[in-house]
Chains A and B, each alone.
Chain A
Amino acid sequence: MLRDITLGQYYPADSVIHKLDPRTKLFGTLLFIISVFSFDGLLGFGVITLFMFGIIYLSKVPLSFMVRGLRAIVILLLIAGALNLFLTPGQPLITLWKIVITKEGVRNASLMTVRMIYLIMGTSVMTLTTTPNQLTDGLEKSLRPLSKIHVPVHEIAMMMSIALRFIPILIEETDKIMKAQMARGADFESGGLIKKAKNMVPLLVPLFVSAFRRANDLALAMEARCYVGGDGRTKMKPLVYEKRDVGAYAVVIVYFVIVVLVKSLL
């Protein structure tokens, strides 16, 4: 049942992309997102398509995993596409009674759709090749300078990693409690909205109780190990840039320059 949901969907594999420093991947993803929203024309589209599929190929993650992430936004895509298609003013292309499809509309709709699809696929390359812990580590270290202006970077990162760690635990717990109540004849499927909400009580109460119990246990365990926050805390696996990271930075920057050049030349 719920066990099949993959959140923080790390896909273990032995690839160059997996081995990259999370900071490199964060930076690369950021540049990729900017490039996706700034490209224009077929040539630019060709460049980012080539780049993205190249990276996906290198990551050794099956393409179906990236596509799976798209299922969640299908409806959003359809709505955004339709709105752009029908509501953009401009040179009419097809006119059916009151519905007018303009040339600009077709252009906007296809651009929008491609951008959103690439955004999801590009970012899922990062989440599929980086464990949540690496990701928060990378964020913490990248944002470290902000602690100079009293932003609690370490605390935010710690909260993030705890929250991420708790997602699978709570999913499992939900699954267990749901089964236990179903075994006692509880019904989570049928009935109207109000009845359904009422039927959730036997699930939500034990879930909250257990979440608090776990939070308590965790706080106690952290205190027992003398956790006092980020000051002076060292890492078991500190993030260190390696040669391949330098290469990756170079590749990403060259790619970005090409996208910008293509855009300004046309």
Chain B
Amino acid sequence: MSFILDKVSHRYSQGTAYEITALDNVNLKINDGEFIGIIGHTGSGKSTLVQHLNGLLKATEGAIYYNGQDIYDKDYDLRDLRTQVGMVFQYPEHQLFEETVFADVCFGPKNQGLPEKDCTLRAFEALRSVGLPEKYYYASPFELSGGQKRRAAIAGVLAMKPAVLILDEPTAGLDPKGRDEILDLIAETHAHYGNTVILVSHSMEDVAKYVDRIIVMNQGSVMLDGAPRDVFHHYKELEEIGLAAPQVTYLMHEMREAGMDVSTEPTTVDEAKDAILRMLGRK
């Protein structure tokens, strides 16, 4: 059991004319090793939610427990929590600052207090796993292209080997190829280390392919929570809040309505292919 959120609410600018409720009474349980997608419209509170998980934001009400410990306890070391819960922000390339990519990736491990040798080792490992060509390791991060900067920045968090990895819209502003590469990379690290991964996104298509649990946020509270196929059953409700199920879900539902004997379960193109072949084979 890694995270328990108990009635967590968050209000920005509390007590002023600009008060906004970003989170409203959120209850969640996140288990070790899960691959979770958090989905919601812009302003639904998803980014606010994940920033609570490593203590960057403090809930105005409610409590959060990590491995059974209250993270708002006076004696709790938030810096230690942050080394265990890695967070890749939106447009992470904007946080690069060192003279070389390599030094920047070392920043996280160094802050963890690891000896020089381990930092170097981890940086190499992380840079290799994000697939950045070796010739860029000692280049200035500002000379890299957008996609490569993003890889370097993600490596900076991976190098800390977090037990929980949170990614806030890691594919924003990337082309389809870059997007698939980044998501594949995340899935690979998850398969390899078995760490908990929380992927924040507004694209169902992205999320459906990788995660095994989806949390849908709407206006600061959790609207749906479950396996992708269960969540996509509610595709009409999803549409009402400005989201959409993957396109194959629509296809399967329409085929069903047209009287074809197919399952409406598939959420990815591959699953849909299998289902249709099965139907055709039965005929």
Q: Does B16 reach chain A (CB closer than 8 Å)? A: yes
CB distance from B95 to the nearest CB of A (A): 4
The answer to whether A179 and B56 touch (CB under 8 A), given A185-B112, A206-B96, is yes
**Cβ of B37 < 8 Å from any Cβ of A?**
no
Is A11's beta carbon under 8 Å from chain B? yes
With contacts A3-B12, A202-B107 taken as known, whether A185 is within 8 angstroms of B83 at the C-beta atoms is yes
Instruction: Determine if B258 is an interface residue (Cβ-Cβ < 8 Å).
Output: no
Interface centre among B54, B79, B92, B94 (most CB of A within 10 A): B94
Chain B residues, CB < 8 A from A176: 89, 94
Which residues A1-58 have CB closer than 8 A to chain B?
A: 3-4, 6, 11-12
Cα A136 to Cα B44 with chains together (Å): 35
Q: Are A179 and B157 in contact (CB under 8 A)?
A: no
Q: How far is A75 from B271 in the complex, measured between Cα atoms in Å? A: 69
Number of chain B interface residues as a range:
20 to 34
The answer to whether B157 touches A183, judged by C-beta atoms less than 8 angstroms apart, is yes
Report which residue of A182, A184, A210 has the largest number of chain B beta carbons within 10 angstroms of its beta carbon.
A184
Give Cα A206 to B87, complex, Å: 17
Chain A residues 166 to 185 lying within 8 A of chain B, measured CB to CB, are: 176-177, 179-185
Q: Are the C-beta atoms of B160 and A185 separated by less than 8 Å?
A: yes
* B111: contacting residue among A184, A206, A210, CB under 8 A: A184
**Alpha-carbon separation in the docked complex, A37 to B79 (Å):** 51
Known: A185-B111, A187-B111. A179 touches B94 (CB 8 A): no
Interface SS majority for chain A: helix
Contacts of B157 in A (CB 8 A): 183-184
Q: Is the CB of B87 within 8 A of A177?
A: no
Q: Which residue of A lies closest to B55 (CB)?
A: A182
List A188-229 residues whose CB lies under 8 Å from chain B: 201-202, 205-206, 209-210
Q: Is the CB of A185 within 8 A of B13?
A: no
- Given contacts A3-B12, A184-B107, A177 and B56 within 8 Å (CB-CB): no
* B87-121 interface (Cβ within 8 A of A): 87, 89, 92, 94-97, 107-108, 110-112
Q: Which chain B residues border A180 with CB–CB below 8 Å?
A: 87, 89, 92, 94-95
Closest CB in chain A relative to B107 CB, distance in Å: 6
On whether the beta carbons of A182 and B156 are closer than 8 Å, the reply is no
CA distance A184 to B156 in the complex (A): 8
Bound form: Cα–Cα A12–B86 in Å: 39
A177 to B93 Cα, complex, angstroms: 10
B82 CB contacts on chain A under 8 angstroms: 182-185
Shortest CB distance A31–B (Å): 28
Residues of chain A with a CB closer than 8 A to B160's CB: 184-185
Q: Which of A54-80 contact B (CB under 8 A)?
A: none
Binding site for B on A (CB under 8 A): 3-4, 6, 11-12, 176-177, 179-187, 201-202, 205-206, 209-210
Chain B residues within CB distance 8 Å of chain A? 12-13, 16-18, 51, 54, 56, 79, 82-83, 86-87, 89, 92, 94-97, 107-108, 110-112, 142, 156-157, 160
